[in-house]
Amino acid sequence: MSDKLFIFDTTLRDGEQVPGCQLNTVEKIEVAKALEELGVDIIEAGFPVSSPGDFNSIVELSKAVTWPTICALTRAVENDIDVAAESLKYAKRKRIHTGIGTSWYHIHHKLNSNEDAIVERAVAAVKYAKRYVEDVEFYAEDAGRTDNAYLARVVEAVIKAGATVVNIPDTTGYCLPHQYGEKIKYLMEHVDGVHKAVLSTHCHNDLGMATANTISGVLNGARQVEVTMNGIGERAGNTSLEEVAMILKSHENIGVSTNINTQKIYHTSKMVSSLMNMPIQPNKAVVGRNAFAHSSGIHQDGVIKNRETYEIMDPSDVGINESSILLTARSGRAALKNRLELLGYHLEQEKINKVYEEFLVLADAKKDINDDDILQLVGGNKLEDQRIKLDFLQVLSGKEVSPMATVRLDISGEILSETSSGKGPVDAAISAIKKILQRKVSLHEFLIQAMSGGSDDLGKVHMQVDFEGDIYYGFAVHSDIVTASVEAFLDAINKMKVNRVRKAG
């Protein structure tokens, strides 16, 4: 019989810390429900003391989710733990995740402390959290660079204090897979009472080794893995949930089983990417657009003769339905409805009719429609709620032409228009918007990406806009990249405080 491996998802905490990936409470609930359906055991819902928004999301998520344990992160600080306990009051199953840095860098530089005092603070935090909840997880931040003998001392002390799970984060993504595995093995062999708790992996991907390190940890005795959807997370990200799940499915001899329904992976991955405005790299393992695409003639020939010649996973195991019909302008409502259902959207007929109308317009501008396009159509009514809307845009650009743009904005019903020149069409359009808004806003970062390839593709634009030293994130998709850029700019502007954007009078 295989051991149970607990899947701890931190997409909504470590993943959501990434600039530009912030979700509102409704979006977080949507992701949490998808994670519940996927079968994760624990959802880390946030760091409640960090902001009222985070606190409130944990409260609402606790009400919305039934099966997974809801976990709240804290530092080893009593007030953090009080706030976490309060945020979890509606959770059916609850966990407080508290901890402190244990590496030399953390103890002597960040915390200006010493080894003995850190053990005392760790124990005190676990005991304090135990007053509120039975299930307390302790993290030894930067355990990856912590001396194994000292780490064993900390782990033993917190288990004695009542920790049910002990997290061994490779916070900086520094460990080699064999080193991380040896660390877990060392703890399994040297910590008195280690079997009273579960050891957990938490690996970052700075050197591209997060998944390898996680699997190495599991092979050496860890029975919880901390992961995020699409590997989203600080810097180069965290361990990808989908990679771990498919490795365990493909290598049954590892000897652990999870509750993950792998057929829900594709839908969840797309949802997270779309809501967090975080594109998935095309060659991303398991969920990338090319993960199952065989383009070379030799590979295609091999796969046609026997799929296993070049495929180690069946795409349908991750929820990619290969028999799905290619959607074009000639596809009917039924085909669209079928694809929406495969993507996990069960819409009322009225909504399908609306999406279908938008689909036909897009299909006229673009040869074939992929799943990213469909997801964009389903969530594409975001702009309707915005205060400042693009009413009209015309640009003039080309070789030997001085770029000009005319922009008309609808600002809460008031129509204002300006024309401006610029170094290119986007610069001219943004300059016209700035004239209308009469404020000093500047572009900090500007990224245009084609969603799938081809000159008829949709352009996806991410922007960072600086206003009085604060950075606002904007995002938009359109088949015209100048329109996408202008709408991304307005998306960022709409996130600024209402009365700070346009000068009175």
- In the complex, which residues of this chain contact ligand KIV (CB under 6 A)? 14, 139, 141, 167, 169, 171, 202, 204
Q: Tell whether residue 14 is a contact of Zn ion (CB under 5 A).
A: yes
Q: Which does 139 bind (CB under 5 to 8 A by kind): Zn ion, ligand KIV, none?
A: ligand KIV
Smallest gap from residue 76 Cβ to ligand KIV (A) = 11
Residue 80 or residue 457: which is nearer to ligand KIV going by CB? 80
Sheet holding 470-478, edge to edge: 441-450, 459-467, 470-478
Smallest gap from residue 202 Cβ to Zn ion (A) = 6
- First and final C-alpha spacing in the chain: 74
Q: Tell whether residue 141 is a contact of Zn ion (CB under 5 A).
A: no
Task: Choose among 24, 82, 83: nearest CA to 49.
Answer: 83
Burial, 442: exposed, middle or buried (Cβ in 10 Å; 0-12, 13-18, 19+)?
Answer: exposed
Quick check: 74 and 97 in contact, CB under 8 A?
yes
Quick check: 380 and 359 in contact, CB under 8 A?
no
Residue 139 or residue 292: which is nearer to ligand KIV going by CB? 139
Q: Which does 366 bind (CB under 5 to 8 A by kind): Zn ion, ligand KIV, none?
A: none
DSSP H stretches of helix in 131-258: 148-160, 177-190, 210-219, 241-250
Residue 201 or residue 273: which is nearer to Zn ion going by CB? 201
Q: Tell whether residue 9 is a contact of Zn ion (CB under 5 A).
A: no
Q: Which does 371 bind (CB under 5 to 8 A by kind): Zn ion, ligand KIV, none?
A: none
Residue 238 or residue 483: which is nearer to Zn ion going by CB? 238
Task: Choose among 81, 96, 21: nearest CA to 49.
Answer: 81
Residue 47 or residue 356: which is nearer to Zn ion going by CB? 47
Smallest gap from residue 142 Cβ to Zn ion (A) = 10
Q: Tell whether residue 44 is a contact of Zn ion (CB under 5 A).
A: no
Residue 101 or residue 425: which is nearer to Zn ion going by CB? 101
Smallest gap from residue 144 Cβ to ligand KIV (A) = 9
Q: Which does 141 bind (CB under 5 to 8 A by kind): ligand KIV, Zn ion, none?
A: ligand KIV
Two tokens, residue 116: 């003995």
Measured CA to CA, the distance from residue 99 to residue 435 in angstroms comes to: 50
Smallest gap from residue 171 Cβ to Zn ion (A) = 6
Q: In degrees to the nearest 10, what's the CA dihedral of 351, 356, 357, 362?
A: 130
Measured CA to CA, the distance from residue 207 to residue 187 in angstroms comes to: 24
Measured CA to CA, the distance from residue 375 to residue 356 in angstroms comes to: 12
Residue 14 or residue 27: which is nearer to Zn ion going by CB? 14
| Count of CB atoms situated within 10 Å of the CB of 193 | 10
| Count of CB atoms situated within 10 Å of the CB of 20 | 16
Residue 167 or residue 211: which is nearer to ligand KIV going by CB? 167
What is the distance, to the nearest Å, from the Cα of residue 65 to the centroid of all Cα atoms in its chain? 18
Two tokens, residue 379: 């969530």
Site stretch for Zn ion (CB under 5 A), options 8-16, 43-51, 294-302, 430-438: 8-16
Handedness of CA 474, 479, 481, 483 (dihedral sign): negative
Residue 141 or residue 457: which is nearer to Zn ion going by CB? 141
Measured CA to CA, the distance from residue 327 to residue 496 in angstroms comes to: 38
Residue 210 or residue 451: which is nearer to ligand KIV going by CB? 210
Q: Tell whether residue 137 is a contact of Zn ion (CB under 5 A).
A: no
Smallest gap from residue 103 Cβ to ligand KIV (A) = 10
Smallest gap from residue 167 Cβ to ligand KIV (A) = 6
Size of the site for Zn ion (CB under 5 A): 1
Site stretch for Zn ion (CB under 5 A), options 7-15, 17-25, 60-68, 102-110: 7-15
Smallest gap from residue 146 Cβ to ligand KIV (A) = 11
Smallest gap from residue 129 Cβ to ligand KIV (A) = 14
DSSP H stretches of helix in 220-309: 241-250, 265-275, 297-305
Instruction: Give the list of residues 6+ apart from residue 244 with CB closer than 8 angstroms, or none.
Output: 7, 211, 214, 215, 225, 227
Smallest gap from residue 204 Cβ to ligand KIV (A) = 6
Instruction: Give the list of residues 6+ apart from residue 272 with CB closer than 8 angstroms, or none.
Output: 11, 15, 31, 34, 229, 230, 232, 278
| Binding residues vs Zn ion (CB under 5 A) | 14
